[in-house]
Chain A
Amino acid sequence: MIGVGKTLSSKHFTIARAGAAITAVLTDRMRERAAQVGAQVARENGAEAAADAIAALVVVRG
């Protein structure tokens, strides 16, 4: 569990459940955790890694 969100079932969706979930994600603890995960994801630089892999594939094939 990454700990930065809540999941709601669309089958059991109610305004009360949505309200509780929104309240639960708007806590300082959740914000801090989201910032940590955000920093981690930003360091991964996925787009550059993906572009390198794709460029290498095209070069190999000529």
Chain B
Amino acid sequence: MRKIVLATIGSLGDLHPFIAIGLALKARGFAVVLAVPADHVAKVEAAGLTGVAIIGGFDALTETLGMPPDQVAKRIMADQTYLMNRILMPWLADSTTALDGAMEGAVALIASLFVFAAPIVAETRGVPLVNVLLQPMATFSAMRRPAHPTSR
């Protein structure tokens, strides 16, 4: 059975479409692994798919940043560079190692925007990478910079 890894780092709005695609691939005979934040693994398993953690959950995030959850959410929404510089980049090395481990024997990697480890792992393993763009702000254009009403 050919194995496909689906990787997403984000909210439930990112996770749910990935579970749906994972179930559809499973129905087509693929062995599906979802590589997700630690606090999403149980939800993936409850849906009948295999889940692997490639990054800490929101609890680990609030602990690392030393802020309560509501403040973390507010900072992320108010400043996109905060998400990049304080969360995604410091966790990149570990998530690359974890995702690479999950990719053992896989024939393809399907990933959402914030899984920066995905292109690295796909290239080193020589497997195709499918980028999934779930949000209008993820659709980059030379004509107009990506933005939502509160971004800067």
Interface residues of A (CB under 8 A from B): 7, 9-11, 46-48, 50-51, 53-55, 57-58, 61
Contacts and interface: CB of A to CB of B under 8 A. Distances in A.
A57 B108 contact: yes
B20 interface: yes
Contacts, number: 47
Interface on chain B toward A: helix, strand, loop, or mixed SS? mixed
Interface on chain A toward B: helix, strand, loop, or mixed SS? helix
Interface stretch (B21-29, B33-41, B56-64, B115-123): B21-29
Interface residues of B, number: 22
Interface of B: 2, 4, 17, 20-21, 23-25, 27-28, 30, 74, 77-78, 107-108, 110, 128, 130, 132, 149-150
Closest 10 CB pairs of A and B: A51-B24, A47-B20, A10-B150, A47-B24, A51-B25, A50-B21, A47-B21, A7-B149, A10-B77, A55-B28
